[in-house]
Structure 1
């Protein structure tokens, strides 16, 4: 006769199955008996870096690093510029990729002042429609105007002071601007980037994330198009991105509703 196991009463805790009480918990690697990792750890770390003063400081150091090499015409950037230029020329001349020439030139044209200006004005108008407070509207306008003004002043000063020749060769004559930093890259980044920041003040968190991601992708494609069309060196494009990154980081914190805390919360799902 087998011993009878008494029925578990209402106060009796359930017995753990084989493998212990945590047998049903598995990490992605399939290791039982461990607590799942905290979700979003690396994304949270990335947000903290973007929100800290370390981010614009790194961009400023990178901008100085690029500028010094262009001025002295020496350093690892120079051969990298030449390698990227030659590689882009080979791609553009390759059979089967000729159809990209038209779209690439259209993308490069988006770096002009007209497309960027139209996008910025439209974004400001939409934000104003969703923002009843007059003081907030004025602050949005001030942030947009200051961002564009600072980037334009630095880019024009750099072009006039450095007088870097373009990837196609030729000397910079009197009255002409140099190629460093890239004006089209800077114009697209600051105009589309500021437009996204203005829209971000009135969009939902999910829509804001999509807007920021789409804007970043568009600006990246414009930079690649400028290289494809042989309009700029890689260093010209990178310098403008670094400059605009500093300005947009600042604009994101002085705009209405900006600041590290709100930026971090906006990035959460």
Structure 2
């Protein structure tokens, strides 16, 4: 799975840099279709909710959700690993997204040139922020609750991220490739976060259970 996601990310990036390929044709097709849909009679009432959904992908709401989930998981497990997993995931995604925006400098759906002191639109920052924050929050909450609750948190996070991505296209903020690239990047990070959680045995302790005793050192031979 990570290899497939990495190949998708690389393929999208190469086409965006080269400014040619099927993904760019699809970008324009989807952009035009979304503009037609947003401008169709009877859909004007969706503009407000769509902008609200797009804003949910911003650093403030998504960051607060992740911080609350990480702190809750840390308290439940009495470990700092949930906070480390959350911080590490956000750091990796932030560096990758800012680097891509700065180096590639892709224009947005308006196709206006990007100013010299501005970042580009590839990959999508709001998509990446929402996916890594809500995704890791769901992962951590799922690890400190029941399996059923974990599936619900995962489904809720996936649905939220899908709606945010759709809203970004509706609002004409991003190309489809911008959104897909961020999803691929964050899916790799989420996969890695899950592996780190597994390796660290991230599970809540039973109420009232004492901490695991530290292993005893073997006495020196002279004391045996």
Q: TM-score range by the shorter chain?
A: 0.7 to 0.9
State the partner residue of 1:58: 4
State the partner residue of 2:68: 122
Q: Please give the residue correspondences for 1:70-109 in structure 2 after superposition, counting only pairs within 5 Å.
A: 70-109=16-55
Bigger share in helix? 2
State the partner residue of 1:241: 183
- Superposition misfits of 4+ residues, deviation over 6 angstroms: none
RMSD, matched Cα: 1.4
Aligned partner of 1:187 among 129, 132, 141 = 129
Counterpart contact for 2:71–2:83, Cα < 8 Å = no
Distance 1:258 1:249, change over 3 A: farther
State the partner residue of 1:150: 92
| CA deviation map 1:122-181 (0-9, x unaligned) | 10122123223xxxx221111111100000000000001100000012111111000000
1:160 aligned onto 2:97: no
| SS in structure 1 of the partner of residue 77 of structure 2 | coil
Structure 1's unaligned 5+ residue stretches are: 1-54, 263-269
Aligned partner of 2:195 among 253, 259, 268 = 253
1:218 aligned onto 2:160: yes
TM-score by length of 2: 0.87
Counterpart contact for 2:74–2:80, Cα < 8 Å = no
| SS in structure 2 of the partner of residue 106 of structure 1 | helix
Q: Please give the residue correspondences for 1:25-36 in structure 2 after superposition, counting only pairs within 5 Å.
A: none
The structure with more radius of gyration = 1
Counterpart contact for 2:17–2:104, Cα < 8 Å = yes
Structure-1 separation of matches of 2:67 and 2:198:
17
| CA deviation map 1:4-43 (0-9, x unaligned) | xxxxxxxxxxxxxxxxxxxxxxxxxxxxxxxxxxxxxxxx
